[in-house]
Amino acid sequence: MRPVPRRRLLAGLLLTPVLTTGCFASGGEAAGEDAADGSRLRVALAFPPAENLSPYGADATLLSRLGVTEGLTELDANGSAAPALAQSWTRENDRTWLFTLREATFQDGTAVTPAAVAAALTHATEAKPVPAALAGVTLKAAEADGSRVRVTTGDADPALPLRLSSPGLAILSPKAYGSGESGGGGDKGRRPDPTGTATGPFELTKLSGTTAATLDRYDDYWGGRAQASGIDARFISDGTARTNALRTGQADIAEAVPVSQAAALDEGTRHETATTRTTSLLLNTKKGPFKDPALRSAARGAVDTSVFAKDVYEGYADPGAGVFGPAVTWAADKRVKPAGRAGAAEPDGTSVTVATYNNRPELPEVAQVLGQQLEKAGFRVELEVREYSRLESDALTGKFDAFVAARNTLLDTGDPVSVLASDYTCDGGYNLALLCDKEVDGAVAEAEGLSDSAKRQQAVMDAEAAIIGTDAVVPLVHQQIITGVRTSVQGVVFDPYERTLIDTGTRR
């Protein structure tokens, strides 16, 4: 008898509520060799590819949500590292781990070997900018004996198995990097091509710019054949259009349904999931008016966060409490009150540009309300709204004074320390506030070095307090997500970490 595929087993485990207001659930059955072929799934996604579906940036979760890519590990229901391409691992010493690979093949037919895995991880370390999961981390991977890969970090990294679950550290075949089947060579820093080179149950066969993608079932998937024969994905940044595609039968699944459209869906097609996503106002600390800590303090004082969960999100969110919200169940009891570092200055008509994106339809309204609050305090505000793919590079280079972003704090690794390192330290790869603060870097570094779970969690909250104390970030709300699913579809994965949407059991 074929064992239950890993993805379906995981989904079954995740039926148990483990977060405060939501669970990780999938309604499908285990897929096996005798599963019906099923028809193709039509999926409406909110975010068009920003980097031609390279796994090294924001596109990484598009690939994982569609069942294309996998890493050595993945997250289980409790946010712990679980086997994926690695079936087990051991720690040799503080800096070195051995990962034993399971028998699997890439979608181009080549074997998943220690040499290929080591090469894939090495390419990730050479990417510019570095994937968020590797922010502040020195990592080396090498082929070991048998089916094992040895991974060594520059400093002790007790969260390495969690880190390697990141969608940004997906394992692709040597072909993806322009190298031969041996696993060597390739262009250093080259963006890999995931077309037909990943390991998941669905193979990317065609990308039509930023409008659509075609995926076919990969029949030799190690975890069992998927029940759907393929996926036809459309990237629809407008939330109302995504919802209408579901209502009119043009889509089977629509992600990120706007709260304004939720009532338009029948109760059986509307699924709410508590997530670890926080919407925040991020202030540019490197240049422009918010380089001045006193003006950042004035901006923070101008923001009334109580209105966002109730009015903008219509109850599908919790008020902003910190970088980490109530879905991170241990955070509230360990939260430390931040100490302000600067007194507020009078804005006195200071002009600021606040930018956000419309892929998450509530964000423009959040930005508009923020603009009104800032203007009431004496700022002059200009709003700029674009699609995320047309905004990210400008945001990361500091072309805006302020940025409103919705960030899943456990998306990159499942380790809260990692998101603090990537988003708020001097060397962070996703530092939208361009924050570079010695106290913050020191607090994050202290948390990174702790292996005891309770001590690491407390150090995370100490670092959160240091970050919020700079007034570089103002947490606004902690979100729920609404997914629209036609009643004929089964097995959609409602994932609080937002890494998975479709797996082997998703079908219609």
CATH code, domain carrying 231: 3.40.190.10
Give residue 398's pLDDT band: very low, low, confident or very high (50, 70, 90). Answer: very high
- The answer to whether residue 15 scores a pLDDT higher than 50 is no
Say if 258 falls within a structural domain. no
Domain check: are 89 and 117 in the same one? yes
Considering the domain boundaries, does residue 63 fall inside one?
A: no
Q: Are residues 337 and 379 in the same domain?
A: yes
Same domain for 333 and 448: yes
Task: Tell me, yes or no, whether 270 lies in a domain.
Answer: no
Contacts of 495 (CB under 8 A, 6+ apart): 14, 24, 273, 501
Look at residues 278, 256, 257, 280 and name the one whose alpha carbon lies nearest to residue 478.
Answer: 278
Residues 6+ apart with CB under 8 A from 12: 4, 26
Identity (one letter) of the amino acid at 114?
A: P
Distant-in-sequence, close-in-space partners of 333: CB < 8 Å, separation ≥ 6: none
SS (H, E, C) 230-241: EEEEEECCCHHH
Answer yes or no: are the C-beta atoms of 435 and 472 closer than 8 Å.
yes
What pLDDT, on a 0 to 100 scale, did the predictor assign at position 426?
Answer: 94
Helices (H) and strands (E) in the chain, counts: 14, 19
Query: Is residue 263 domain-resident?
Result: no
Can you tell me the distance from the alpha carbon of 58 to that of 48, in angstroms, rounded to the nearest whole number? Answer: 10
453 and 501 belong to one structural domain: no
pLDDT at 245 over 70: yes
Query: Tens of pLDDT along 213-229?
Result: 999 999 999 999 999 99
pLDDT at res. 7: 40
Whose tokens are 């109850």? That residue is 315
pLDDT, tens digit (0-9, with 9 covering 90-100), for 51-64 = 889 999 889 999 99
CB 27 within 8 A of CB 491: yes
Q: What pLDDT shows up at residue 365?
A: 95
pLDDT tens-digit profile of 324-366? 998 888 899 999 999 877 788 999 999 999 999 998 889 999 9
Q: Compute the distance between CA of residue 270 and CA of residue 283 in angstroms, rounded to an integer.
A: 34
- What is the span of the domain harbouring residue 3? 1-54+200-252+486-508
Shared domain for 308 and 443, answered yes or no, is yes
Note the pLDDT tens digit of each residue in 157-171.
888 999 999 999 999
Give the model's confidence band at 185: pLDDT under 50 very low, under 70 low, under 90 confident, else very high.
low
Q: Tell me which H or E stretch contains 478.
A: strand 473-485
Contact yes or no for 43/245 (Cβ under 8 A): no
Residues of the chain with pLDDT > 90, as a percent, come to 70
pLDDT of residue 9: 35
Is the pLDDT at 183 greater than 50? The verdict is no
* Domains: count for the chain: 3
Residues 463 and 370 reside in one and the same domain: yes
Q: Is residue 259 part of a domain?
A: no
β-pairing, 73-75 vs 81-83, is: antiparallel
Query: Residue 186 has what pLDDT?
Result: 55
pLDDT at 133: 85
Q: Is the same domain home to 45 and 157?
A: no
Average pLDDT, the chain: 88
Query: 24-73 pLDDT, tens per residue?
Result: 333 333 333 334 456 999 999 999 998 889 999 889 999 999 999 999 99
Residue 496 within any structural domain of the chain:
yes
Instruction: Find the mean pLDDT for residues 394-399.
Output: 94
**Interval 104-163: pLDDT, tens:** 999 999 999 999 999 999 999 999 888 888 877 899 999 999 999 999 999 888 889 999
Within this chain, do residues 471 and 505 fall inside the same structural domain, yes or no?
no
Is it the case that residue 410 has pLDDT exceeding 90?
no
Confidence of residue 403 (pLDDT cuts 50, 70, 90): very high
436 versus 10: the higher-pLDDT residue is 436
Residue 482 pLDDT > 60: yes
In a domain, 267, yes or no: no
The answer as to whether 264 is a domain residue is: no
Could you tell me which residues are beta bridge partners of residue 382? 353
Mean pLDDT is highest, among 2-6, 253-257, 493-497, for 253-257
Whole-number Å distance between alpha carbons of 28 and 163: 28
Give the per-residue SS3 of 329-375: CCHHHHCCCCCCCCCCCCCCCCEEEEEEECCCCHHHHHHHHHHHHHH
Is there a single domain that holds both residue 142 and residue 236? no
Residue 182 scores a pLDDT above 70: no
Burial 335-357, CB ≥16 within 10 A → b, else e: beeeeeebebbebeebebbbbbb
Burial 428-459 (b: 16+ CB within 10 A, else e): bbbbbbbbbbeebbebbbbbbebeeeeebbbb
